[in-house]
A and B are shown apart, each in its own frame.
Chain A
Amino acid sequence: MLHEITFNVNGEPYTVAVKSQHTLLDVLREKLGITSPKRGCENGECGACTVLLDGKPVNSCMVLAVEAAGHEIETVEGLARDGELHPLQKAFIEHNAVQCGFCTPGVLMSAKGLLDENPHPNVDEIKHALAGNLCRCTGYVRIVDAVLDVAGNGQ
């Protein structure tokens, strides 16, 4: 079954035709060319596909595209403003919190979701918020340090 849906991605309205069984991840990547959300496990386990849906982190592999109709989606493509990287992006670079980078877009969106709600989280709150994002490279320490830095709680 085909649905014509309109939704906002990073503040821009998009109207697309989607099938009932298409996920938001499918449509962002294949139809809109927004490829920062990654296809990892497609099972809710890895968090590589994390986007913000109305400001809240969700796994886009487990949201039907048609459910996004009328809602606001944010991805890493929308983080930089006027050529200036988002503070989280800068902190990830400074702290070497990126290695292969596959998990990074999802981690950034989980971290943004946290900071938008709680601008000064402590280590435990950061770990709790990032528990749904697997990283096979960094060992997490640098990721947590980078987020702490933006939260103004870094050492």
Chain B
Amino acid sequence: MRPFDYYQPESFDEAFKLLTMPDKVVMPLAGSTDLIPMVRDERWSPDIVVDIKELPGLRDIKPVAGGPGCGVCEGECLYVGAAVRMSEIARSPLVNRHWGVLAQAAGAVGHEQVRNRATLGGNMGTASPAGDTLSALLVLEAEVLIQGAGGERCIPVTKFFLGPRKTALRPGEIIVAVLLPPLPEGSAGSYERLSRRRGADLALVGVSALAVPYAGGYQWRLALCAVAPTPIRVPEAEAVLSAGHDAVSLEQAAQLALAASHPIDDVRATAAYRREMVVRLTRRALQHVVEQLEH
């Protein structure tokens, strides 16, 4: 592997000094499951990697009252540190309490060895359109807590993903955590995905669906990954479902999900196959949510 220098700063100040070193390619490192293969393939060439996973607060999962500084969450948010591992998210009783769709998505990443290393912040930092946790973060309307040498900011996840491997992070900034706004009792979610090899391949299509009790009915949210340059919400389908989730609406929503998808041909699948799978996986995800609502 091409040589680089590794640092593990103990404080944010020290981390930001390293992350803003002039004339150097500096990259944060968490679980290294994307970074090491990329460096080995000579697609990324960092001069310096800064291991951020032991920074204070990055491995915490905890309820917080209101978002620190963001003011979005009125009730109790769930704070999930950027360096929390997928296996921890998948098994976390706190995440599973109301935000289970994220636990399901984290549990779908790679295989056990990968999940024991891969982090939420790394999945977001890589910003692959196929990243499994991204559509779940969209339906949960997560806020992204970001910190840099200039201070802290919090942005909605809808403004975070800008394109394949492109995020709203400015040079030297890192993701500290995501904040999951509270959901009322009786909410139900589901993540469905398809890949070529179960356990070690990116999603060909991923679908997150969530129904939230609202004004005597439900407000629905639907998001897709791997079918556009970024993960997307499908507001047209959400509107149909929120008006009533009978069989006809479910089918209409699946077709609207298809209309919103613009997948590409690549080594994993053809665009045509992906389009077919958008319909099927959307149906399945919606059906799973309906089953939970009826229980």
**CB nearest neighbor in B for A109:** B113
Flag A49-78 by CB within 8 Å of B: 1 or 0 each: 010010011110111101100000000000
Looking at the complex, which of A15-23, A97-105, A135-143, A144-152 is the stretch in contact with chain B?
Answer: A15-23
Q: Report if A87 contacts B (CB, 8 A).
A: no
With a cutoff of 8 Å between Cβ atoms, the chain A residues found around residue B110 in the complex are 44, 132
Given A43-B37, A63-B117: A128 touches B6 (CB 8 Å cut-off)? no
The DSSP consensus for interface residues of chain A is: mixed
Question: In the complex, which of the residues A42, A50, A64 contacts B6, with contact meaning CB atoms closer than 8 Å?
Answer: A64
With a cutoff of 8 Å between Cβ atoms, the chain A residues found around residue B216 in the complex are none
Give Cα distance in the complex from A59 to B111, angstroms.
10
Tell me whether A20 and B114 are in contact (CB under 8 A).
Answer: no
**CB nearest neighbor in A for B3:** A21
Tell me whether A132 and B200 are in contact (CB under 8 A).
Answer: yes
Give Cα distance in the complex from A58 to B8, angstroms.
20
**CB nearest neighbor in B for A18:** B6
Q: Report if B158 contacts A (CB, 8 A).
A: no
With a cutoff of 8 Å between Cβ atoms, the chain B residues found around residue A132 in the complex are 110-114, 199-200
Tell me whether B49 and A44 are in contact (CB under 8 A).
Answer: no
**CB nearest neighbor in B for A106:** B113
Which residues, 120 to 173 on B, are CB-close (under 8 Å) to A?
none
- What is the interface size of chain A, counting residues whose CB is below 8 A from a CB of the partner? 30
How many A-B pairs fall under 8 Å by CB? 79
Flag A1-31 by CB within 8 Å of B: 1 or 0 each: 1010000000000000001110100000000
Q: Report if B251 contacts A (CB, 8 A).
A: no
Question: In the complex, which of the residues A19, A42, A43, A113 contacts B3, with contact meaning CB atoms closer than 8 Å?
Answer: A19
Which residues, 65 to 111 on B, are CB-close (under 8 Å) to A?
87, 110-111
Tell me whether B113 and A59 are in contact (CB under 8 A).
Answer: yes
With a cutoff of 8 Å between Cβ atoms, the chain B residues found around residue A66 in the complex are 6, 8
Tell me whether A20 and B36 are in contact (CB under 8 A).
Answer: no
Question: In the complex, which of the residues B5, B40, B117 contacts A20, with contact meaning CB atoms closer than 8 Å?
Answer: B5
Q: Report if B255 contacts A (CB, 8 A).
A: no
Tell me whether A64 and B112 are in contact (CB under 8 A).
Answer: no
Give Cα distance in the complex from A82 to B293, angstroms.
56
Flag A76-115 by CB within 8 Å of B: 1 or 0 each: 0000000000000000000000000000000000100110
Having A1-B3, A47-B113, A132-B111, one finds 12 other A-B pairs with CB under 8 Å, namely A20-B5, A21-B6, A23-B36, A43-B40, A44-B200, A45-B200, A57-B113, A57-B116, A62-B36, A63-B32, A67-B32, A132-B113
Pairs A–B under 8 Å by Cβ, sample size 29: A1-B6, A20-B3, A20-B5, A20-B49, A21-B1, A21-B2, A21-B4, A21-B6, A23-B1, A44-B113, A47-B113, A50-B113, A56-B116, A57-B113, A58-B117, A59-B113, A59-B117, A62-B37, A63-B32, A63-B117, A64-B29, A64-B32, A67-B51, A110-B113, A113-B112, A114-B112, A128-B112, A131-B111, A131-B112
Interface residues of B (CB under 8 A from A): 1-6, 8, 29, 32-33, 36-37, 39-40, 49, 51, 87, 110-114, 116-117, 198-200
Please list the 8 inter-chain residue pairs (A to B) with the smallest Cβ-Cβ separation, ordered nearest first. Answer: A132-B111, A131-B199, A20-B6, A1-B5, A56-B116, A21-B1, A131-B111, A132-B113
